[in-house]
Amino acid sequence: MGSPKLLFFDIDLTLWDRQNFIPESTVRALKAAQANGHKIFLNSGRSRSYIRKKELLDIGFDGIVSGDGVRIEMGDEVLFSRVLDKDLAIRAVETCRRHGFWVMLEGPHHLYFDMDEFQNDAYAQKVRSEMEEDYRPLSDLWGEWETDKLSCATPVSDEERLACYEELKDDFDFLVHGPIVTEMVPKGFNKGTGIRFLCEHLGVPVEDTFAFGDSMNDIDMLKAAGTSVCMGNGQEEAKAASDYVTATLWEDGIEKALKHFGLI
């Protein structure tokens, strides 16, 4: 079976689907990988405050890379955290709103957004419900946010959207999910930097890492890992960036991939 590996997993549409359903085979496979001496990590674009579902965390991951690499923890220890300074956060919000974006600030403990800005947006309603008491109105706490990235709805023209990116390009990298959603991550951070940080921290060569993902915002992670796996339900760009394409999430894709590589 060789030396122990570090295994990194995206959450959405990799470990669970849009209804937060996790296949029993996935839970079984992750626990089997740990029993074989491998370490398993979440590696998500979600900020830490929005990685909270008990059925996910109860799997018992060895660590969590959250916010596209801006926060890294193992067990109860926070190894790294990069929070936006107040002036930059204010400038980012003001710039995005001036260009017509709807802004959600994501942080290690809270999410901040104004429900009246998102109107009847179904995703915002879902997030508001799941965050419960850890939701905060953005405008009511102006400038007092603890935030490490932004997610924006962008219901504007291509020209307006690109103009906003131009103003913020020195401070942020942009993960564009089609014409209506953009993540803004502090420049130089991504899921791949999270992998490299943990490899250095644990003294594990990058060649001994595996990454599992499905979408465009997983590509940095897939390229950084020693071996990359895309889910069968993944986007074509993610498949092209991967060494191996497994079955879909619902067809035991995680378990099949771990078996394929002799990890379980």
173-201, pLDDT tens digit by residue? 999 988 889 999 999 999 999 999 999 99
From residue 46, how far is each of 36, 66, 68, 91, 166 by CA, in Å? Answer: 28, 6, 7, 22, 24
Q: Using DSSP, state whether 114 is helix, strand or coil.
A: coil
* Torsion sign, CA atoms 50, 73, 93, 218: negative
Return the minimum-mean-pLDDT range out of 5-9, 177-181, 209-213.
177-181
Tokens (6 digits) for 131: 């965050």
10-68 per-position pLDDT tens digit: 999 999 999 999 999 999 999 999 999 999 999 999 999 999 999 999 999 999 999 99
pLDDT at 177: 87
- Dihedral of the alpha carbons of 74, 76, 77, 80, in degrees to the nearest 10: 70
Q: Using DSSP, state whether 192 is helix, strand or coil.
A: helix
pLDDT at 64: 98
Q: What is the pTM of this model?
A: 0.95
d(CA 247, CA 264): 16
- 215 alpha-carbon distance from chain centroid: 11
CATH number of 86-186: 3.30.1240.10
What's the average model confidence in pLDDT over 226-245? 98
Is the pLDDT at 155 greater than 60? The verdict is yes
83-140 per-position pLDDT tens digit: 999 999 999 999 999 999 999 999 999 999 999 999 888 889 999 999 999 999 999 9
Contact 184, 92 (CB under 8 A): yes
pLDDT at 171: 98
What's the average model confidence in pLDDT over 221-244? 98
CATH number of 6-81+189-260: 3.40.50.1000
What residue segments make up the domains of the chain, in order of their start? 6-81+189-260, 86-186
Task: List own/partner pairs for 28-31 with CB under 8 A and 24 or more apart.
Answer: 28/255, 29/254, 29/255, 29/258, 29/259, 29/264, 30/59, 30/61, 30/254, 31/59, 31/60
Task: List own/partner pairs for 94-99 with CB under 8 A and 24 or more apart.
Answer: 95/164, 95/167, 95/168, 96/150, 96/152, 96/164, 96/168, 96/184, 98/164, 99/156, 99/160, 99/161, 99/163, 99/164, 99/167
Q: Are strands 181-186 and 172-177 parallel, antiparallel or unpaired?
A: antiparallel
**One fold for 6-81+189-260 and 86-186:** no
Is the pLDDT at 251 greater than 80? The verdict is yes
* Torsion sign, CA atoms 122, 123, 126, 132: negative
Is the pLDDT at 1 greater than 70? The verdict is no
